[in-house]
Structure 1
């Protein structure tokens, strides 16, 4: 019964996102498409942090891997949009595996610092090889290169629908993952690693697998961002893009499947409206986060689950 409730809730959210398309203005169609892409990124972060307990500040590296695999694949190697959308998650997963093999030899704060160092090294690499990456100036993808099956992905409706398709697949896979035996092992590893080891599970293997899955999600989001919005730049590889998914997850609810979407939606529009009202918008965003930490430390959905909605995954 609990599984059915969760499944239908997630289907209802997907139906609402699809039904919203004809009701939104062009401005909000673009915004919600971007939110869905960023929510996929945050979902990947949530797999590592919310479900497995890996506090990483290096996810910008995985996002950038997908971003540049898609962007440079299109602009410099003649890769089509379909190939770019496949190259992104592959690049994100491979980079996450390489980082995980080394970083997971540490734990806690040391793991956080090591992942941050890897992400910063990736950012500096992007700036160093400016001849290929165009650094801060970035790569602007031609409209003609952003075609998929004859459909122009620079248009509002196709962009929204592809972002929705990516989000829907990511959401349902995420829901299946956390309900699977491996998902239970991830949660057990987060709650009590020593006891999980006594039960026969290898923490290193479990964490590495979770980090690779997280990297695949981040790479897929990066590739989609490049293809749908036509821009690849060093700013998207900066440490800010390691902090953003953490904020989305904390705001929506760590360890909840829908938390990343809710957090990305609220944070995106909070920044959007606050920045249009005042130049001190970061103060407003910070104040909201402080209130959240004080009154809902487990995030919005995490608090709701704790206070009654026990069936929320």
Structure 2
């Protein structure tokens, strides 16, 4: 069996394990997994930019919230059907990525990181400024009717889990195929050595713009799905905190690995959940665990396993 075949078998096995968990885990953990899978879509989007192209962004909350508000405002104020509103959410994230990509790619390295952070903060302040429409920090809750797609009520635990699994599976397999394609290989070449990639004839600026478009759109789809499945939209999702989260998830799971984002979100979610049940200072425990992990597994959980022997891990 080739490495590519092993990779796809692993992806299918992970999807099958998630599906099987619905039948064996308690309701609480099923609900947690649904949330983890949606946030993993967001992390997958971030990983395409940071993990595979080498661009460190601190502004991905802008794309996540663009998809979220694009969808939520369309159904809440525009009265549009859920399916069309989801497309508008993805389109809002795509257009935001296009604009930010053209502007931010005029900079490099630390300047790129700072510029993306500034744009994200501007997006957060915009949400607050138009509080009459967005409801600002208070946010708003979507009704059951607004969370129905093709006649299926997605506010229930079971339907929400399966919808999250379908979305996650499509994004996981899609990105797995992308990184193995010529485009994905070219993006990795930019990450490894941009100057050499340029000397070989690659249009590195175009490749980085494509990476931002793919990354931002996937992140926006994650935001729209979060609003649809969990029914709440608020300015919290546009804060810097939600730009830091995907970076932590990807670093923990393994940057530049297809399954790393899921592992990172799962690890972080349960780390905080378990430590909060022990002490009120749960962030201290979580922070200590993160520091130790970064010291002894600097390539992330999946990256470290791949480095230590399983070279075929995607």
TM range (shorter): over 0.9
CA distance in 2, matches of 1:274, 1:92: 34
Equivalent positions of 1:140-219 (< 5 A) are 140-219=141-220
Equivalent positions of 1:40-189 (< 5 A) are 40-189=41-190
Conservation of the 8 A alpha-carbon contact between 1:93 and 1:214: no
Alignment partner of 1:15 is 2:9: no
What's the secondary structure of 1:257's corresponding residue?
coil
Alpha-carbon shift at residue 214 of structure 1 (Å):
0.2
Of 75-84 and 114-123, the range deviating more from structure 2: 75-84
Alpha-carbon shift at residue 170 of structure 1 (Å):
0.1
Q: Corresponding residue for 2:280?
A: 279
User: 1:196-236: per-residue Cα shift (whole Å, max 9, x none)?
Assistant: 00011111110010010001110100000000000000001
Alpha-carbon shift at residue 148 of structure 1 (Å):
1.2
Instruction: Tell me the matched-pair count.
Output: 313
Q: Corresponding residue for 1:26?
A: 27
Alpha-carbon shift at residue 93 of structure 1 (Å):
1.4
CA distance in 2, matches of 1:82, 1:272: 33
What's the secondary structure of 2:23's corresponding residue?
helix
Q: Corresponding residue for 2:303?
A: 302
User: 1:133-173: per-residue Cα shift (whole Å, max 9, x none)?
Assistant: 00011011011211112211100000001100100000010
CA distance in 1, matches of 2:118, 2:264: 26
List runs of 5+ in structure 2 lacking aligned partners. none
What's the secondary structure of 2:77's corresponding residue?
helix
What's the secondary structure of 2:58's corresponding residue?
coil
Alpha-carbon shift at residue 24 of structure 1 (Å):
2.2
CA distance in 2, matches of 1:150, 1:78: 16
CA distance in 2, matches of 1:108, 1:271: 31
CA distance in 1, matches of 2:273, 2:85: 29
Alpha-carbon shift at residue 249 of structure 1 (Å):
0.3
Alignment partner of 1:223 is 2:224: yes
CA distance in 1, matches of 2:15, 2:3: 19
CA distance in 2, matches of 1:22, 1:65: 34
Conservation of the 8 A alpha-carbon contact between 1:33 and 1:159: yes
Alpha-carbon shift at residue 280 of structure 1 (Å):
1.1
TM-score, scaled relative to structure 2? 0.98
What's the secondary structure of 2:298's corresponding residue?
coil
List runs of 5+ in structure 1 lacking aligned partners. none
What's the secondary structure of 2:277's corresponding residue?
helix
Alpha-carbon shift at residue 85 of structure 1 (Å):
2.1
What's the secondary structure of 1:312's corresponding residue?
coil
CA distance in 1, matches of 2:143, 2:27: 21
CA distance in 2, matches of 1:189, 1:212: 16
Conservation of the 8 A alpha-carbon contact between 1:252 and 1:260: yes
CA distance in 2, matches of 1:275, 1:175: 34
Of 198-207 and 256-265, the range deviating more from structure 2: 198-207
- Runs of 4+ in structure 1 off by over 6 angstroms are none
Alpha-carbon shift at residue 23 of structure 1 (Å):
1.6
CA distance in 1, matches of 2:19, 2:203: 41
